[in-house]
Amino acid sequence: MRISRKTIWSALTSFQLAIACLALLMVLVVACTLAQVELGTYAAVHKFMNCFVVWWHVPGTALKLPVFPGGATVGTVLVLNLVAAQLKRIQLNWRQLGLWIVHAGLVLLMVGQFVSGAMQVEMRMAIEQGQTLSYLESPRDMELVITDGTDPKFDDEYAIPESMLERLGSVAIPGTPLTVNVRDYYRNAKLGMRQPNDPPSPATAGIGPQVAVQELPPVTADDAFDTRAVFVEPVAAGKSYGTWLVSPALGAPQMFFHEGRKYQLSMRPRRQSLPYALTLKKFSHDVYLGTDVPKNFSSLVHLSNPARGEERDVLIYMNSPLRYGGKAFYQASFGKNDTLSILQVVDNPGWLLPYISCAMVALGLVIHFAMSLRRGLRRQASLAGSAS
């Protein structure tokens, strides 16, 4: 059966399609809200809203089946429907000006949500008083780091992202004779000292042979993070240096030597370097008098950007972030007896779009109301004139 362009255009511009998309969005919102109990907010939003397809993992297998359109798919169809319907019913006259602005604002709102879901990156900066940092960390993503610490003046680091660890296989380290063979990878694991009845460890070097690794399901709480563990085998010039267990739970890095050079193996949150640096001069934690109820958190930081010749102090406090270089630094948490400040850093290229869209919708409604009121007053005046 051949479907004509007219049929497709009619379906795309139909009011029924808009209602169906809104109904699907309602189902997704309800499912996402209920899933937050089990998955947590971050995982639930990514599973239902920031995706094109909702997948169902068949219990007991690795099979995943598509079961529902994701929020990105439904939102895209709804935007196309709004734009197409407006073009189909186009009326270029001043009476429709307010409605045109309202529709444009709604489309921009959905585009902004799509841009945020696809491009927003959230990281953090955990900085202690007196410390200077020029990098951000992603607590939800990890990386395996091989550090050449031979020169006492600096460390030469190479990071292997988690996506490459998950695929296993071999990774050549640029600028070194090393190749790292990834033998096994656990997204979440519990580490403990090996007991006599534990199975043999895959590790043959470092502290790994003494540690038992138990795989766990991923954590779901928003304030909890998985404990990664990976077994790797460094090889250089055809010589194996054994299989090592590397995990942030081990605390200290492990090292080996090759032809007089010292290499360290460690795992840490994924880092992103910045072209500028922040120094925490003072962190303040105020509470209401006579209570432990928080009143205010604030971080006084010094921003240093030699490339721009910029040196200034900035006070970051609740609802007053530092916006710099396309990133927003929010006061998020603290620790170590109020000497550690944790800043949540959001890089969202579309952060202005929701504000602009809301302003457009408000402006469009005001214009539409004003023009309708004017027409109504004129009609009343005309009727009054006819009656007299």
137 against 93, higher pLDDT = 137
Six-digit token pair at 305?
A: 């950007």
* pTM > 0.75: yes or no: no
Phi, psi at residue 350, to the nearest 5°?
-105, 25
Asked if the model's pLDDT at residue 388 lies above 70, the reply is no
Asked if the model's pLDDT at residue 281 lies above 90, the reply is yes
Which pLDDT score, from 0 to 100, does residue 343 have?
92
Which amino acid does the sequence have at 318?
A: M
C-alpha 99/C-alpha 116 separation (Å) is: 26
Neighbouring residues of 269: CB distance < 8 A, sequence distance ≥ 6: 137, 138, 139, 141, 142, 143, 248
Name the band, by pLDDT with cuts 50, 70 and 90, for residue 291: confident
Which pLDDT score, from 0 to 100, does residue 140 have?
81
222 against 303, higher pLDDT = 303
Long-range contacts of the stretch 254-258 (C-beta < 8 A, 24+): 254/205, 254/206, 254/207, 255/149, 256/205, 258/177, 258/178, 258/234
Nearest Cα to Cα of residue 142 among 268, 272, 249 = 268
Which pLDDT score, from 0 to 100, does residue 121 have?
83
367 against 114, higher pLDDT = 367
Q: Which of 40-44, 173-177, 372-376 has the lowest mean pLDDT?
A: 40-44
Nearest Cα to Cα of residue 185 among 157, 215, 149, 140 = 215
Name the band, by pLDDT with cuts 50, 70 and 90, for residue 60: confident
Mean pLDDT of 199-213: 87
Name the band, by pLDDT with cuts 50, 70 and 90, for residue 49: confident
N-to-C CA span, the chain = 65
Which pLDDT score, from 0 to 100, does residue 364 have?
93
Asked if the model's pLDDT at residue 221 lies above 60, the reply is yes
C-alpha 193/C-alpha 213 separation (Å) is: 9
46 against 117, higher pLDDT = 46
Mean pLDDT of 271-278: 92
Which pLDDT score, from 0 to 100, does residue 334 have?
86
Which pLDDT score, from 0 to 100, does residue 205 have?
87
Which amino acid does the sequence have at 30?
A: V
Mean pLDDT of 260-280: 91
Per residue in 258-289, is it b (16+ CB within 10 Å) or e — as a string?
A: beebebbbbbebbbeebeeebbbeebeeeeee
Asked if the model's pLDDT at residue 197 lies above 90, the reply is no
Which pLDDT score, from 0 to 100, does residue 69 have?
92
Six-digit token pair at 118?
A: 């696809």
Report percent pLDDT > 70 for the chain. 97
Q: What is the mean pLDDT of the chain?
A: 86
* pLDDT per position as a tens digit, 313-371: 999 988 889 999 889 999 988 888 888 999 999 888 888 899 999 999 999 999 999 99
Which pLDDT score, from 0 to 100, does residue 79 have?
83
